[in-house]
Amino acid sequence: MDKQDKISIRMNGKETLIPREDEKAIEEVVTSQEEQAATAEVYEYEHSEQKKVIKPEAWKKHPYYKKKKRKKKLSSPVKNIVVSVIGALLLGLLLGFILLRMFVGITESDGAATENPVAYTGGTDTGNAESVTTDGGSAIKLPTVEAYVVQAGYFTSREKAEEWSQNYIEKGYPTVVWEREGDVFLFTGLARSYEAANEKASPLLKDDLQTYVKPWKVTATEKVNVKGAEPLSGFADLFYSTIDGKETTEEWNQLAVRLPENETFNELKAAIKSLSKSNSSSQKDVLLLKIWKSYENILKK
């Protein structure tokens, strides 16, 4: 068979001769060429087509896009001013509270002005003591004793109260420190009524000394199981008579004699002895306050 009876086909740069009678081989060659052409077109398309990229500016146009809000920060000078103002307010509140507790005594009412004295009308609170028999001996029920006091200060420790009292002592006003349930009070006078107590406080105000008039009382106790406390049954009447200005020196001395010689009553007996020797009205007020405080201490036994 010569070359004229064959078909020359070039594939991949190489010439190939195929007989004209072999139609099947010719069809395979044509199909292979078409596949190669299609593959080349796909390859060219994939590498020529650029991928679509969404630019950041396009995101902002999206309906669900939300712009982040930036928090505004205070500038340094403004921030310093705000911190300083808040600190000053807190410090002022703290100092005000301390001064209020020191000079005023916020624990009780200031006692609205009244002309009526603190009365005692008998009964279990202000009458004579009642005897109660117990297995351990005789216990008595002592009455409540109350009056108005001239307060010179309120403190958190006895040392501070004694230090502050020098301001009053230097100007001729004696004082007494009274401790109760962790609080420390400084008193300089007492009276049966609010009006009378204010009159006693007036000279101190003229001398630029802080004062505060308020009601004060030693509450009755159900029973005092202290041996030898029976003479205190008449304490309330004797206390009120002394405040009213009556001469009660002899009665106080008799009370002191009737009290037992022991540690429980030593403080009360010493205060009674000092009261009997005093001639100053202001000094008598302070000594009577000491007697009253000793009475409270006995009730706590």
User: Given its phi and psi angles, is residue 25 left (phi above 0), alpha (psi -120 to 50 degrees) or beta?
Assistant: alpha
Q: Domain check: are 162 and 267 in the same one?
A: yes
Does residue 212 lie within any of the structural domains? yes
C-beta neighbour count of 41 within 10 angstroms? 10
Does residue 278 lie within any of the structural domains? yes
**If pLDDT is split at 50, 70 and 90, which confidence band does 233 have?**
confident
Query: What mean pLDDT do residues 149-163 have?
Result: 95
Does residue 99 lie within any of the structural domains? no
Q: What is the pLDDT of residue 35?
A: 54
DSSP states along 76-113: HHHHHHHHHHHHHHHHHHHHHHHHHHHHT-TTS-----
Q: How many domains does the chain have?
A: 2
Q: What is the pLDDT of residue 146?
A: 95
Give yes or no for residue 126 having a pLDDT over 70.
Answer: no
pLDDT, tens digit, 9 for 90 and up, residues 164-219: 999 999 999 999 999 999 999 999 999 999 999 999 999 999 999 999 999 999 98
**If pLDDT is split at 50, 70 and 90, which confidence band does 26 have?**
low
Does residue 88 lie within any of the structural domains? no
Residue 156 and residue 178: Cα distance in Å, rounded?
Answer: 12
Does residue 196 lie within any of the structural domains? yes
Does residue 144 lie within any of the structural domains? yes
Q: What is the pLDDT of residue 279?
A: 83
Range of the domain at 17: 3-41
Query: What mean pLDDT do residues 236-263 have?
Result: 93
Give yes or no for residue 158 having a pLDDT over 90.
Answer: yes
Query: What mean pLDDT do residues 36-46 have?
Result: 51
pLDDT, tens digit, 9 for 90 and up, residues 51-60: 455 555 555 5
Q: Domain check: are 127 and 263 in the same one?
A: yes
Q: What is the pLDDT of residue 7?
A: 57
Query: What mean pLDDT do residues 37-43 have?
Result: 50
Amino acid in position 39: T
CATH number at residue 186: 3.30.70.1070
pLDDT, tens digit, 9 for 90 and up, residues 68-119: 556 555 567 777 888 888 888 888 888 877 777 665 554 443 333 333 444 3
Q: To the nearest whole number, what is the mean pLDDT of the chain?
A: 75
Q: What is the pLDDT of residue 133?
A: 45
Q: What is the pLDDT of residue 201?
A: 94
Q: Higher pLDDT residue, 246 or 111? A: 246
Q: What is the pLDDT of residue 229?
A: 83
Does residue 210 lie within any of the structural domains? yes
Does residue 108 lie within any of the structural domains? no
C-beta neighbour count of 248 within 10 angstroms? 21
